[in-house]
Every structure is written in C-alpha cells, then in structure tokens.
Chains A and B, each alone.
Chain A
Amino acid sequence: MPCADDTQRIAAEARRALDICNACQFCDGYCAVFPALKSRRLVSAEDLTFLSNLCHNCRSCHHACQYAPPHAFDLNLPKSLSLVRQQSYRDHVWPPLLRGRLPHAGWPAVAVMAAVVLSAVALVVVPALLWVPPETLFGRQSGPGAFYRLVPWRVIAGVAGGVMLWSLLAIGFSVASFWRGMGPAPAGVPLLPALRDALSDAATLRNLGGGGAGCNDRDEGFSQARRRFHHALFYGVMLCFASTSMATVYDHLLGWPAPYPLTSLPVLLGSLGGVGMVIGTAGLASLKLRADPAPVAASLTGADCALLALLFLVAASGLGLLALRETAAMGPLLLVHLGLVLGWFATLPYSKSLHAPFRFAALLRAAMERRGRG
C-alpha cells in the first residue's frame, strides 16, 4: 500500500503531466478529460480527483504523445491518472475507518477480494452442509421449488439483500464523499440535462471511442474491442439483474417458484446476460494481459483481473447451474453460485467495481461543466 510520500509523489507526477497536457491539448478530440482540463488554469487536488476518474484509460493520448518516453519529459498520462484514480478509491471508501487501510492495488487487494469471496462461499456452503440432508444436497432435484429445498428463499433474500443493502449504502457514502472531493459543482446548471448527457456517455462509453476509431487496446492501432467487451459485460450484468427482478415478480406476485423453463423470461434474460458477462470478462482480461505495458500501471492489473475473474465465475457458475440443473450437480453448483454472487455483492464498495459509480459521477460533473460553459 502506498505511504504518504508515494501519495504525494503520485499526485505531483500527475499534476506535472496535466500541466504539460494543458499547454499542448493536441489530444482534445480523444475524450472529455482534455476539454475539462482546458477550462482550468492550474490543476488542484480536487481537479486531480475529478480528471483521474473521468479518464477511461483508453490510452489513445499516450500513443499520440509527442512527450512520451524516450522524450525528456517522460510523459505517461494514462499511467499517472490510473495511479491517482486508484488512490481516490482508497480516499473515499466507506466506512471512514477503512480509509487508507484497505488495499486497492497489487496482491494485497487480490488477497482481500479472494478472502471476502471465499468467506461468502463458505457462508453459504457450510450451513448447507450442516443442515441440508446429503440426499437432498447431492441428489437430483427438479420441479417447482427445487432451489429452495436446498436454500430457503427467505435465507437467500435475507442474506443477499442485507449484504447488498450494506454495499449500496457504502457506495452511496463513498460517491457522496467523492463528489465533494471533486470540489464544488458548477452553480446554476440544471441537473437533468447534464444527467441525460452523463447517462448517454456512460451507456455508449463515448469516451472509449477515441474520437471515432476506438482506443489503443494493444498498440498504436485503433480498435473498438475494449469498448465492445465492456458493453458485453455491463449489459450482461444488467440483463442478469433484470432476470433476477423478473424471477422475483414470478415468485412473489405470480406465485411461480423457480426453476423456470428455458423459454421463460428469467432464464432467457439470465442466459443472455451470463453469456455476455463471460464474453465480456474473458475479452477484457485477454486485452488487459496482452496490452502494451507502457501506458499501464502494472500494480493495478492484479486487482482489475481479480474482479474480472470473479465476474467470470459468477456468470459461468450461473450458466453451469442452468445447464446441469436436472442433475445431481445442481446442489453444489447452486451453493457455489450463490456464494460467489454474495461475495461479489460484498466486495462492490471495496474493489474495482467502485470505478463504475465514480466514473459516472465524474461524467456527470463534466457534463455539468460543459453545460455551465454553454
């Protein structure tokens, strides 16, 4: 974990880079960072928080940089901003007790994530082993209510709901702290139009577009791969939430207990979402592992890949459950799947997942500034 000296060094380096970028501004067509930078004469600590989270790490600016190594200025904006961004996750984590104590990078972060996820899996599996009769757990189960004979619905909803509630609360406080950390918002700007801009930017990942041709995933060639894989992952997650919500409606309002037939809405949405997540996570991880190492902060790759691995496992175990639900493997798979989902929920405010709400908040701030400038 970086010490105070590292924190200052990282901030000073990012500020040096941004001062040079502001004097140059050749990259102003790539993403929202450069126009936002241009409206600032000097870069404050708040600006660093804002701009580093506005950066989508597309790396186009690095490949276009006349000051990149071996130039004497040794500029590496994507890497500098990645390091600041990672610090902002740590600075705004909730509860405040964890600030500066929770690792967000390197092996410690991977270890924390693995520990939380394994605990969650254990939390689901151990009581089931203790209380569910082995013939139920390891036998073939089918028909309405098959899942709930293993883990009662009330337990699933109660535990997962409780963890999710905590996580949403923690994320909410973190984002509020982050929002203040970006400095005062521009006054007199109507929120709704800016919100619409930000939603559109987030939904389309416009800032991964590099001004049209995509970003530099692997080298100086442009590609839309990263944007598409991220879309697959993000919309996959959304479809899975839609599937879960639909299943809740089926179960509670319509009185149809799971599992549902293959052609039902929850299964269709969930399958599509799960496939999207598998493709998205695998694609993003492979891009990450084959990326040009120059503009990447290597210390962050581990934690990034840990989240991708977790999401991959969540999706893969869900799809496995669907495929094998008529067999004896259903019981163990269900437990593992529920455990992984629970683990993911628990790590939401403390892992790379935090980039999503922070990025959105930064996009909203940028949209407000744009509208404020007219």
Chain B
Amino acid sequence: MTRVSCDCDVLVVGGGNAALCAAIAARRAGASVLLLEAASKSLRGGNARHSRNMRVMHGAPTAWVRGRYPADDYHADLQRVAGAAVKSADDELARQFIDASADIVDWLTGNGVRFHRGTDEVLPYSRKTAFFLGGGKALMNALYATAEALGVVVRYDGAVRTLHLRDGPPAVTVGDADIPIRAGALVVASGGFQADLGWLRQQWGGAAGEFTIRGTPHATGVPLKALLEDGADPVGAADHCHMVAVDGRAPPFDGGIVTRLDGLPHGIVVDRDGRRFADEGAVVGPSRYTAWGELVARSPGAVAFSVFDSAIAERFRPSIFPAIQADSVGGLASALGICPPVLESTVAAFNAAVTGGTTAGIHPPKTRLAAPITVPPFGAYPVRAGITSTCLGVRVDGRARVLRPDGTAIDGVHAAGVIMAPNILGTGYLAGSAMTIGAVFGRIAGREAAAHALR
C-alpha cells in the first residue's frame, strides 16, 4: 500500500464525540485527516449533542469530579448493567477502558472542552461523572473548533453510502459521488442504526413505527452494516436498544433529554386499551426512565398513557407538552381514544385497592407511591419508547481495530463510539459511559489509524 494513492492519511466516518476525538488524535499524531459528518453544520455532532456528562474513573477528587470512583467500582457497575449480555462484553477491554477513562477529561480540556468544576453547586452531586459546561452541543462546538484549528478537513452533509474494504487501502463513497475517497486508514464512528426504520422493523415489527428516535436522524447504520457484511465480528444484539419513556408527542428525531417523562411512577400507566400492565411503583429511582422505555416498547401497539389526577400532578415535573385534561375519567378516556368504561373500571379498581401507599388485591400491584386518582381535573400524557441508540456493534481490540470472528484485524479499519460500545456495555446502559467510550476509543482509534497510515 502506498500513501500516494490516498486522498488523506486518516478518514473519519461520523461527526459525533468519538469521530471528533479520533480526528483530533490522528491530526495531533501528524496525519492528514478528512472527517465526513452526515449532518449539516447546524445539526452536527451526532447523539453527543444531546449528552451531558461523562463517567470517569478517578482515585481521588479532581478539579472536575468530587470524591473518588475507583476502577473496581466502575467495573462492578459495568458488570451489573452488562448483565445477561456479559458474554459479548469483553472484560479485558473493559479494564483497559476504565484505566484510560482516568485522564480523558484532561485530554478533552486540553482540546478546548470546558467542564463544570466539581465543586459547582448547581449540579446534582456526582462522584462518577464530569459534566460538560453547556452540555453536549457546547462540547461538540469546542471539539469542532479545535479540529478545524488543527487542520482537520471537515465535510458536512457527507453521508457515507458505501465502504470499500476488500482491495487496497480502505475507501468510502459519499452521497451520489462515483469516485471513492481513499485513505491510509479508516475510523468508523458512525453510531448505531436506530434512524433506519426498516432495520428497526426487522427487529421489532410494527412497534418500531411507534418509536421516537431521541437523537440524530443520521444514525442509519450504513457503515455498521457495511462492516458486518465485510466480515466484522458482531457484538451486542440487533434486537436491543437503549430506550427511555418519552412523551408521545415528541418530535420524530432529536428530542433529546427534555421529552423524557418524569411522573410515570406517581400515577398509573395504562395501555392503549385502558388497562394497567405493570407495577408503576417497581422502579422509582433514576432508572425509571429506562425501565418504562422497555415496558412501553413491548406493550400492545407500543403506546401507553400516564394517568393522574390534579393532586398527583403536583408531585412530579410536568412534561414540556401540556397534559391532556378532562373533568371526569370517562371524559379523559374519550380524549385519549380509550373506551371510557374500561378506563373508568381500571381507575375504580385501582382506587379501591389503594391502601397505605401500596395496593392490595389487584394485578399488577402498585408497590410504591400508590395514591387514589380522585381529584379532577384528571390528566394524562401519551407515552412512547424513545430510542437513544441500538446495541449492535463490531468487535474491536485494545487498539480499536475492527476484528473478524477469527480474531484477525481488518487492515487499516478502526471503530470508536456507539458502533463498538457493546464490546464494553453488552446490551446494557450505564449513564455517562457511552460518552466516555466515545472519547477513549476515539482517541485510541485516531492515534492507531494515524500510526497505521504513516507507518
């Protein structure tokens, strides 16, 4: 392979956190870098633009994180979420990742990213995560500014159509162009495939049509599919997603954090037919969002309704969309398109069963926060599953090289971010860890791709 035939040393496919970290690391290692972001400039940054924090190991308080979060604690948290899928999560890689997370905040700070001080009183106490000042879009603005200042060539509206990995140096074809862009090495950091409704349907059937995509519409998984077709070893599972319960009126893409519904454990949740289908009090902590995402995704028609009265409504943060309201439960049912007698009998049975914050004699029970729904006006929010990302990826080694099932690396091809996150997370979710995976493996992939291209 000769460098002469290449358009650039390192080609980065993607425009989120992992992609920018890879581009910056590769450029700092001396490579010429072209980055292809599928989005326009105003919507650049992938799902990272909706992110807020980064989970990092630290043995002692730093300027950015309080307390300490030792490697073993981080590892235990990863083990817990990776759960049943731990088989596909690579423990050695996880250990390496945790160690590398320790200095990633400093590396990002050195590349223009600003974090909240750990002592900042406006933040919820966290010994595990560092917060981006201004959130994920501010993070991405800083990374793009640094990349461009270093001489990374950024091409917006650069959606990749095909990868060419079989003969000669890796190359990609963008949009309608016929001529592939060739590179000394490739970093694929293009996220999951959640924005491809057809692919989602293959896994979820008709329910997929009811899903809301919380992040970028450009995560269509084209590069992921191409890597898998070219022999990359799959990790994670195509039929798993990270998802949360969102207001059913959220926009189809890019709703981000604000469409999450806070109040589900406080009232009752009914399916499209007006019947309760889960214990609303089972999960009341921060994981309630994820728990309800899964429940609603698998409920009939993948739609549900959070129902409450005006007394209960005071106990949670309201949705950004107005509650659907009516003076009677029957009237509320009509407004929701539910058969009124069914919802009336659901609410009556629930109210009759409430005793001392829990329920007796109904199925499913409500084990916590049970309160009768009696004070008009009655309110409801439509609930849908909001997909953060899919959990199918490609296997990588500690140098972020994409591996075949036999353990050999595909020459010159690296991966970073959500496209390889299942190596660490399996099909689980751990708040703030995906951003760390993006930055840590982006940095590794960029460095390794530059070394490969310039060798």
Task: Please list the residues of chain A having a beta carbon within 8 angstroms of any beta carbon in chain B.
Answer: 19-20, 22-24, 26-30, 34-35, 38, 41-42, 60-61, 63-73, 211-213, 220-221
Contact = CB atoms under 8 A, between A and B. Distances in A.
Interface residues of B, number: 30
Nearest to A216: B141
Contacts of B131: 29
B216 to A, nearest CB: 11
A220 B145 contact: yes
B114 A211 contact: yes
Given A35-B122, A220-B141, A41 B135 contact: no
B135 A24 contact: yes
A31 B427 CA distance: 38
19 contacts: A24-B257, A29-B116, A29-B120, A29-B123, A29-B133, A34-B122, A41-B318, A63-B134, A63-B141, A64-B135, A65-B137, A66-B136, A66-B137, A66-B256, A69-B42, A70-B42, A70-B43, A212-B114, A212-B133
B256 A24 contact: yes
Interface of B: 40, 42-43, 49-50, 52, 114, 116, 120, 122-123, 131-138, 141, 145, 251, 254, 256-258, 260, 317-318, 320
A60 B134 contact: yes
Nearest to A71: B254
A257 to B, nearest CB: 55
A42 B318 contact: yes
Please give me the 9 A-B residue pairs with the lowest Cβ-Cβ distance, nearest first: A26-B135, A64-B134, A23-B258, A64-B138, A72-B251, A28-B122, A29-B133, A220-B141, A66-B137
Contact of B133 (A24, A70, A211): A211
Contacts of A26: 52, 132, 134-138, 257
B122 A29 contact: yes
Contacts of B42: 68-70
Given A19-B320, A34-B122, A67 B133 contact: no
- Main SS of the interface on chain A? loop
Given A19-B320, A20-B320, A24-B258, A30 B133 contact: yes
Given A19-B320, A28-B123, A41-B318, A67 B138 contact: no
B49 A66 contact: yes
A73 to B, nearest CB: 7
A69 B41 CA distance: 12
A339 to B, nearest CB: 46
Contacts of A41: 317-318
A259 B145 CA distance: 54
Contacts of B141: 63-64, 220
Nearest to B48: A66
A23 B257 CA distance: 8
A211 B256 CA distance: 23
A213 B141 CA distance: 14
A66 B50 contact: yes
A188 to B, nearest CB: 21
B77 to A, nearest CB: 23
Nearest to B123: A28
Q: Quick one: which of B50, B134, B320 has the most chain A CB within 10 A?
A: B134
A72 B214 CA distance: 13
A26 B132 CA distance: 8
Contact of A64 (B122, B137, B254, B318): B137
Contacts of A42: 318
Contacts of A220: 141, 145
Nearest to B53: A26
Contacts of B257: 23-24, 26
Given A70-B40, A71-B254, 10 more contacts: A23-B258, A23-B260, A23-B320, A29-B122, A35-B122, A41-B318, A63-B137, A64-B137, A64-B141, A211-B134
A317 to B, nearest CB: 42
Nearest to A21: B258
B318 A71 contact: no
Contacts of A23: 257-258, 260, 317, 320
A109 B428 CA distance: 59
Contacts of A30: 133-134
B147 to A, nearest CB: 14
A359 B123 CA distance: 25
A18 B306 CA distance: 23
B52 A71 contact: no
Contacts of A67: 256, 258
Contact of A72 (B123, B135, B254, B320): B254
A205 to B, nearest CB: 18
Contacts of B114: 211-213
Contacts of B260: 23
Q: Quick one: which of A23, A26, A65, A69 has the most chain B CB within 10 A?
A: A26
Contacts of A221: 145
A68 to B, nearest CB: 8
B374 to A, nearest CB: 22
Contact of A66 (B122, B123, B254, B318): B254
Contacts of B134: 26-27, 29-30, 60-61, 63-64, 211
